[in-house]
Structure 1
Amino acid sequence: MEPPEPLSGWAPQSPAQTLPEHPLLLGRYRVVETRGTGGFGSVKVCWDIRLERRVAIKCLPLSQAPEASASTLSEALDEARITSRLTHPNIVTVHDFEVENGCAYLIMEFVDGLTLAELMARVEGGVLTYDESAHLLDSLADALDYAHGQGVLHLDIKPSNIFIDTTGAVKLGDFGMASLASAAGWEGARGGTVGYMPPEQLQCSLVDERTDVFSLAVVLYQALTGTSPFAAKDAEASLKKIVRGAKPLSKVEPELAGPVSDGLTRALSADVGERPTSAGKLAQTLIPYLGDEMEGRQSVASLLSQASGETGPDEQAWDDAARVSLVERWPWLPGAMLRATSALTCAGAAARMAPATAPHLAALLPAGALVPVCALALATAGAALPEAGGALACVLAVMAVAAPGVYSPAFLVAGVVGLALLGWRANTAGAGRLVHAALLLPVALTSPVGGVALAGGTLRPKPAALTAAAGAALQLLLARTLGAATGVDVAYAALGMLASPAAWVVVAGTAASAWLCALVSAGGGTGRRCVGQMLGGAAAIAALALARRVENGGLWAAPAASDIAVAVVCAVLVMIATLTLGPVCQPREDD
């Protein structure tokens, strides 16, 4: 059975499949089209967002060859890396080589054109003119002589690995892929494709430059006659045909009798010693009697111009792929924004709570340095480890409540606050790295609705509601207890908050607002998330207005301007972050 034919890569074997989205491959290549899926890999036409150029990426899944030894794969990958150093106008340029997640990736130049196989399929009888064949031979011989001079064999020369761009330039691609495929366990022979391999390659014997000369001669014979002389169902059948010999070219094309026919017969010989020692010598023997290579290039370019619009993605597809988001251009930006948000929130909360802890920290820090030192310490912790910085801020909040005295009622209130925070954390574990920031924002901004936008925009509905409620309750409690002179004052302040219907309305309203925001945002795009922020902000302001009505005995009154400003500004900032950095809301819970 004939081994699977390796994929050719930069012109479609069948109608290209345009992807509905443009994912990034290897973190920098926007996939525009996937072509030629099958065989032992695939080719993806991509836009390099970093260097802003068109590339083709050949993907070879190494993980599907478990029988291949690590040393064998390592040697093959080393060979593929060596081929990436080849620089020649008639060789497809390899820009880079990567191995990631069990796949080898060859990043190459994108050739806007057709393969030789596709070109021959378009012309009558699958035959090129003598001039076109001369141009083909001249280009490929130059490419092979250069590669052989660098110590690199191709070992898989065939029409589908030969590319012709819209200017008529011929380029040889897939250097090193045949050996890599063989080492990965995809081919029974030493790489290559049955019908184009000479006996020594079919029999896994010693190969050299004359192996590539044989394959080049097969391609030229096919271009001149429209038939592949040694095509067969398997390696054994192909070997028998090679030993028997190809039909002399003079009998198929009488005009080529003489040097061309004789030279091609020697190059197709089963005996390695009969073949020319280099591709260049083959070209020197045949081209003077074959045709004018310059005329051939112009003719090929004319044929390619007739395929305009069929050789690659249209310009609109490239324009769409070239649109690079901030996150794609600077992948570190979301992480930096997360850490900055955590740091600023921890610093703001510390600045508000630190003065109350002065009795406990007086022995360690002078009064004037207390606030800046605490703010800097928590900001640093919040930037380095957002969860740790948030936890320290929660500890500071408990200390601030207990400040009037360890043996006073304030200590009991602080204990209840600590237990409540532990319960909140237990119910929001795994909710996200911004959960502490959403809890502490109301404290830092001195507004109970300060955490609605962040919690609703970054958390699932349940943890968003719990976090917004906990943040509002903590802010309302600290607003009443910070600066209390005695532990009794702290206790009365806490009881007063618990007895206040308006405070309960605010806590419940912020929870409902964050839940609504997260519910609308979950699973949607940026537009839906912006709508969620607007609804959440409006609900928070409505909750504040309702609390004022309850507090005023049934009379409606506008909420404090500062609270309205906090709700609006926070919602706008989260919307801006969503539009520029992309959605950060976690998947919606089913419960």
Structure 2
Amino acid sequence: MQTPAPKQQGWAVATNQAQPETDQPLLLGRYRTVETRGTGGFGEVRVCWDTRLDRKVAIKCMPLETAPGMGASTLSEALSEARITSRLTDQNIVTVHDFEVRGGTAYLIMEFVDGMTLAELMSRVEGGVLTYDECAHLLSSLASALDHAHAEGVLHLDIKPSNVFIDAQGNVKLGDFGMASLASAAGWEGARGGTVGYMPPEQLTGDYVDERTDVFALACVCYQALTGSCPFLAKDADASLKRIEKGARPLAKVEPDLAGPVSDQIAEALSADPGRRPSTAGELARAVLPYLGDEAEGRASVADLLAQARGETGPADEVWNAAMRVGIAERYPWLPNATSRVVCAAVSGAVCLRCIPAIARLVGLNIEPMPLVVASALIPAAFSAALPAAGGTFATLVYVITLVTPGAYSPAFLVAALAGVVLYLWQTHVSPASKLSHAALLLGCATGSPVGSAALAGACLSPLPAAATSALGGVLAMLLTSALASSDGASFASAVGRTVMSGSSWLTAVGCAGASLACALISKRRSNAACAAAQVTCCAILIAALLFSARVENGGLWTTPSICDIAVALVCLILMSISIMTLGPVSDTWEDE
């Protein structure tokens, strides 16, 4: 039989480029969504950039809403089958990179085929009909994919044009293996998954299915590619079943050039009786291909059709380029959490480093040598790194004890008791808001400056808690400085009195609260630029507060404030800005949910 001459075809419609979605959060913590494609029977498909392995992927997202009568065991079996498909490795099968179930949704991570589906291709050619050469390439590729899958014990059960992918080089790949059973168990489809019009009677009625079920669907796809219509497409399963029992119109009557083995073998494969169908997809292909067309010519022709659609088959290059810009926190997702733990450890360790010598003297221990002091501070630092909230609580306890060291049976005890009550209230009402709250509170004590807490508090807490934490942190820093500098309870009580009566102290505390409040308000916009600007604003307010505080303290004369306090404010600005520009806004990236 002579190979029929190819039909002339052209583009019927053009595609519309999907809007980029590069501003969305990373899916599963590593995939940046570039575009979301139309939802289907199994959920939606997202085209993504893998920020860890630097590759394009397609992710099928299926909500697992179990249908009535479908138990957990049924769903578990379907999930196992979907995982098995990741073992399939064939050039004509879409590679499955990974499979995850999270938050009631199944995610199938697959290779991204930079092209279009067979359904899209047929919708763009005249009459929805491919040439005989193109159909030969299609049949050969799909038969190879099915033979490989069946040899591995995997059935597809949902072969249709929208599950057949074609890349820019004309390669044909079959995707969505195992998803039909998963969809059925999850309540998305009836009759063992599949799509009406491509399912044989045994699948429509829920009877035993095997390799011949996929052969039937493959024949339906080939029939549609040759004629432009699916022979058994109907409004529901019952109507489709009646069409199957009646039989498809022979190809020889639709396309006289296909009379003979092509028409006869396709008719056999479309039989309602599985026993009359070819036992394998390869058997069907071997019987049809010699009389259908040239596979090599078909591949070249399909590649040419894809070339005509260049720029319409996927996200534009500039969208991919934007998606490929991966930040440090995205490249190393463990880094933000590790950074927060290091900050907590450093602050707790620094506070204990200042407080432990005084506590040791109170109980009569001699740990004056610096190595012993450092070693004693490393233990609470490690505790804070492992358990930030518990370590921070321990550091506040060490702080309260330190306030008693000037004299356990003196007014120092009253100051420590009052500080303990205030810290307890803060612990219950503010501390749970952030894993960095203790670090923000005690940063002033760690640096020895009342302005040390403002920057971190404004970055990691909401406005009012940030203002309260910053002001309290400033007061705690001033009390700690007085306690460590006092030789006895009387001198400590006197120093606390001077601090309370000093207008400059109140002005400094108010300035810290205002700086953190402004920082938190500006940081609400959540962009890196806004958060960095918030830190600059915070630092400016702190320096202004220090200037006015120095003026009040010196009787209305403008004098230079403490260089150490200004240095702390500037260092905090620099470190926080670097962290924000590299890791992102603190409350968004430094805390793991």
Aligned to 1:226: 228
Pair 1:167-2:169 in alignment: yes
Deviations 1:75-111 (A, max 9, x none): 1111111122111111111111111111111111111
Matched position secondary structure for 1:24: coil
For residues 508 and 206 of structure 1, what CA distance do their matches in structure 2 show? 77
Deviations 1:490-529 (A, max 9, x none): 2112112222222222222222222222222233422122
Q: Is the 8 A contact 1:526 1:579 kept in 2?
A: yes
Equivalent of 2:185 in 162, 178, 183 = 183
The CA deviation at 1:480 is: 2.6
For residues 393 and 496 of structure 1, what CA distance do their matches in structure 2 show? 26
**Structure 1 67/26 Cα, relative in aligned 2: closer, same or farther at 3 Å?**
farther
For residues 429 and 119 of structure 2, what CA distance do their matches in structure 1 show? 63
For residues 505 and 233 of structure 2, what CA distance do their matches in structure 1 show? 85
Q: Is the 8 A contact 1:132 1:293 kept in 2?
A: yes
Q: Is the 8 A contact 1:522 1:585 kept in 2?
A: no
Aligned to 2:349: 347
For residues 38 and 13 of structure 1, what CA distance do their matches in structure 2 show? 18
**Structure 1 158/565 Cα, relative in aligned 2: closer, same or farther at 3 Å?**
same
Aligned to 1:202: 204
- Between 212-221 and 303-312, report the one with greater CA deviation: 212-221
Amino acid at match of 2:521: L
Q: Is the 8 A contact 1:14 1:35 kept in 2?
A: no
The CA deviation at 1:317 is: 1.3
Query: Unaligned 5+ residue runs, structure 2?
Result: 1-13
Aligned to 1:18: 20
Matched position secondary structure for 1:148: helix
TM superposition score normalised by structure 1: 0.93
Deviations 1:21-67 (A, max 9, x none): 24212222111111121433111111111211111111121125354
Q: Determine what percentage of the aligned residue pairs are the same residue.
A: 59
Matched position secondary structure for 2:207: coil
For residues 66 and 362 of structure 1, what CA distance do their matches in structure 2 show? 72
Aligned to 1:419: 421
Matched position secondary structure for 1:35: strand
Aligned to 2:273: 271
Q: Is the 8 A contact 2:133 2:295 kept in 1?
A: yes
Amino acid at match of 2:279: T
Aligned to 1:8: none
The CA deviation at 1:196 is: 1.4
TM superposition score normalised by structure 2: 0.92
Amino acid at match of 1:490: F
Aligned to 2:8: none
Equivalent of 2:449 in 438, 447, 450 = 447
**Structure 1 227/427 Cα, relative in aligned 2: closer, same or farther at 3 Å?**
closer
The CA deviation at 1:322 is: 1.3
For residues 483 and 524 of structure 1, what CA distance do their matches in structure 2 show? 42
1:312-351 correspondence to structure 2 within 5 Å: 312-351=314-353
The CA deviation at 1:409 is: 2.8
Aligned to 1:215: 217
The CA deviation at 1:586 is: 7.9
**Structure 1 475/237 Cα, relative in aligned 2: closer, same or farther at 3 Å?**
closer
Aligned to 1:528: 530
Matched position secondary structure for 2:326: coil
**Structure 1 300/444 Cα, relative in aligned 2: closer, same or farther at 3 Å?**
same
Equivalent of 1:358 in 341, 357, 360 = 360
Matched position secondary structure for 2:169: coil
Amino acid at match of 1:460: S
Amino acid at match of 2:363: L
Matched position secondary structure for 1:299: helix
Aligned to 1:123: 125
Aligned to 2:61: 59
**Structure 1 489/305 Cα, relative in aligned 2: closer, same or farther at 3 Å?**
same
**Structure 1 237/401 Cα, relative in aligned 2: closer, same or farther at 3 Å?**
closer
Amino acid at match of 2:129: V
For residues 274 and 421 of structure 2, what CA distance do their matches in structure 1 show? 85
Q: Is the 8 A contact 1:245 1:269 kept in 2?
A: yes
The CA deviation at 1:426 is: 4.3
The CA deviation at 1:396 is: 2.4
**Structure 1 586/200 Cα, relative in aligned 2: closer, same or farther at 3 Å?**
closer
For residues 179 and 158 of structure 1, what CA distance do their matches in structure 2 show? 15
For residues 192 and 16 of structure 2, what CA distance do their matches in structure 1 show? 27
For residues 49 and 540 of structure 1, what CA distance do their matches in structure 2 show? 39
For residues 373 and 169 of structure 1, what CA distance do their matches in structure 2 show? 65
Deviations 1:162-183 (A, max 9, x none): 1111111111111111122222
Aligned to 1:385: 387
Q: Is the 8 A contact 1:156 1:197 kept in 2?
A: yes
The CA deviation at 1:309 is: 0.7
The CA deviation at 1:330 is: 1.7
Q: Is the 8 A contact 2:357 2:367 kept in 1?
A: no
Aligned to 2:559: 557
The CA deviation at 1:14 is: 7.3
Equivalent of 1:542 in 518, 541, 544 = 544
1:470-549 correspondence to structure 2 within 5 Å: 470-549=472-551
Matched position secondary structure for 1:84: helix
**Structure 1 115/478 Cα, relative in aligned 2: closer, same or farther at 3 Å?**
closer
Aligned to 1:307: 309
Q: Is the 8 A contact 1:91 1:173 kept in 2?
A: yes
Equivalent of 1:254 in 253, 256, 260 = 256
For residues 187 and 521 of structure 1, what CA distance do their matches in structure 2 show? 46
- Between 337-346 and 393-402, report the one with greater CA deviation: 393-402
The CA deviation at 1:401 is: 2.5
For residues 104 and 456 of structure 2, what CA distance do their matches in structure 1 show? 38
Q: Number of residues paired by the alignment?
A: 575
- Between 319-328 and 428-437, report the one with greater CA deviation: 428-437
**Structure 1 521/215 Cα, relative in aligned 2: closer, same or farther at 3 Å?**
closer
Aligned to 2:285: 283
**Structure 1 474/152 Cα, relative in aligned 2: closer, same or farther at 3 Å?**
closer
Q: Is the 8 A contact 1:452 1:468 kept in 2?
A: yes
1:63-142 correspondence to structure 2 within 5 Å: 63=65, 65=67, 67-142=69-144
For residues 83 and 149 of structure 1, what CA distance do their matches in structure 2 show? 12
Matched position secondary structure for 1:68: coil
Q: Is the 8 A contact 2:550 2:560 kept in 1?
A: yes
- Between 208-217 and 520-529, report the one with greater CA deviation: 520-529
Matched position secondary structure for 1:63: coil
Aligned to 1:400: 402
Matched position secondary structure for 1:482: helix
For residues 182 and 53 of structure 2, what CA distance do their matches in structure 1 show? 27
The CA deviation at 1:456 is: 1.6
The CA deviation at 1:254 is: 1.3
**Structure 1 271/370 Cα, relative in aligned 2: closer, same or farther at 3 Å?**
closer
- Between 78-87 and 267-276, report the one with greater CA deviation: 267-276
The CA deviation at 1:585 is: 4.3
Q: Is the 8 A contact 1:355 1:370 kept in 2?
A: no
Amino acid at match of 1:430: P
Equivalent of 1:235 in 234, 237, 241 = 237
Matched position secondary structure for 1:430: helix
CA RMSD for the aligned pairs?
2.1
Q: Is the 8 A contact 2:17 2:314 kept in 1?
A: no
